[in-house]
Structure 1
Amino acid sequence: MKNFLMLFLSLFFFSCQQKENKDTSVTVSDSILIEKPKEESQQAQEKNKQIGDTIFLNFRNKKDLFVAEGSLDSIHSKIFVKFKNENLGELKAKIIPVTGKGNIRFNQIIFPDKTSDGPFGMDLKVDLKQKGDHILVIGHSLMADEPYFGKFEVQLENI
C-alpha cells in the first residue's frame, strides 16, 4: 500500500510538471534594414569598456591615450585594468572620479613576469621595463574612511 501511494504521488507530480507545446512562431513577410554609418559603428566598437570587474584597454584615442570609464560598487570593489605594453618607458596613469574627489587609488601594478608594485595614489608614474600584458588594480584605500562607490575615468599614457 505504501509503495502504491508513493508511485501514485510520483506520477501525479510528474504529470503536473509537463507543459503544453504550443507553436508560437511568428513569420515576418517584410523586414526593414537600417544601416548605421560606418564611422558611428567603428566608434562604438573602438571603446574601452568595463566588463564585470575588468577594463580591457585596446584602443587609443586621438591624443594617443588609453581612456576608459569604470565603476566601483559593493560587488566590484576592485577593478582590474588590463593593457598590452609594446614600448619601454614611463607609464603615466590618472584616475578621475566623476564627483571630483574620492577614496580611490591605484592599489597595485602587476608586471608580465607576475611581480608587482604599489600602492600608489590617484596618479601613477612608473618605469615599464618589460613588454607584455600589464594589470593595474584600482580600488579604495583601506587606510581611509568611506570607500568610493561610483563612476570614474582612467587615463593611461606611455611615454
Structure 2
Amino acid sequence: MKNILLLLISISILSCQQRKDSTKTVESAAPVVVRKENKNENKQIGDTVFMNFENKENLFIAESALDSINSKVYIKFKAEGSGELKAEIVPATGKGNIRFNQIILPDKTSDGPFGMDLKIPLKQKGSYILVIGHSLMAENPYYGKFKIQLGVKKD
C-alpha cells in the first residue's frame, strides 16, 4: 500500500514539474494583429433589434425573424426631437400575417395595433419601442424572415 502511495506522489510531482517547463513563452518576430469587423449594421439579438445605424438615405434597415420561440420582435430606436416616423415591414415571402402590434413611447404610453406600414408623429424625445408580431385576429401566424425599414423625418 505504501508503495502505491509513493508511486502516486512521485507521478504527481513529476507531472507538475513538466507543466511548469512547458509554459515557456515564445517571442515572435512579428506582432499578432487582431482585427474586429466593425460593420454598421442593425442586428437582432435575441428578440430585440437595436436600430443604431442609418444608411445614406437616413433610413434604419434591419433583418429579423419570427419563429415559434420568439413570436414577437422588439425594435428599439431613439428620436432626438419631434418628427414623423415612417416604418415598413417587408416579409421574405411577400405577404403574411405580420404587423406592428404596438409602439411604446418614451413616457411608457403605447398605441396600436397597426398594419405592415406605420406612419405616426413623434412628439417626444427619447427611446421608442416597436413591437412586431402576428395578428391574433387572423389565421396562420407568420414565421420566417422579414426586413424592417424605419425613417424619421425631422420637423
TM-score normalised over the length of structure 2: 0.77
What is the CA deviation profile of residues 101-143 of structure 1, one whole-angstrom value per residue up to 9, with x for unaligned ones? 1100000000000000000000000010100000000000011
- Answering whether residue 139 of structure 2 is matched by residue 145 of structure 1, we say yes
Who is 2:12 aligned against?
none
The answer to whether the 8 A contact 1:109-1:117 is kept is yes
Q: Superposed, which structure 2 residues align to 1:9-158 within 5 Å?
A: 33=32, 41-42=37-38, 44=39, 46-158=40-152
Q: Judging changes above 3 Å, is the alpha-carbon distance between structure 1 residues 128 and 27 closer, same or farther for their aligned structure 2 residues?
A: farther
Instruction: Give yes or no for contact 1:108–1:120 (8 Å, CA) kept in 2.
Output: yes
Displacement of 1:57 in angstroms is 0.5
Q: Give me the TM-score of the superposition, normalised by structure 1.
A: 0.75
**Offset at residue 62 of structure 1 (A):** 1.2
Partners of 1:96 and 1:152 in 2: CA distance: 5
Give the 3-state SS of the residue equivalent to 1:41 in structure 2: coil
Matched residues, number: 133
Taking the aligned partners of 1:26 and 1:64, their CA distance within structure 2 comes to 53
* Runs of 4+ displaced beyond 4 Å: 25-36
Aligned pair in 2 of structure 1 residues 34, 53: CA closer, same or farther (>3 Å)?
A: same
The structure number with the bigger radius of gyration is 2
1:89 CA drift (Å): 1.2
- CA RMSD, aligned part only? 2.4
Mapped partners of 1:154, 1:92: distance in 2: 11
* Unpaired stretches in structure 1, ≥5 consecutive residues: 1-20
1:30-86 Cα deviation digits (max 9, x unpaired): 6995766xxx933x2x11010000000000011110101100000000000000111
Query: Using the alignment, how far apart are the partners of 1:150 and 1:27 within structure 2?
Result: 52
User: In the aligned structure 1, how far is the partner of 2:23 from the partner of 2:111?
Assistant: 58
Contact 1:106-1:124 at 8 Å conserved across structures: yes
Q: Return the offset for 1:87.
A: 2.7
Cα deviation, residue 26, structure 1: 8.9
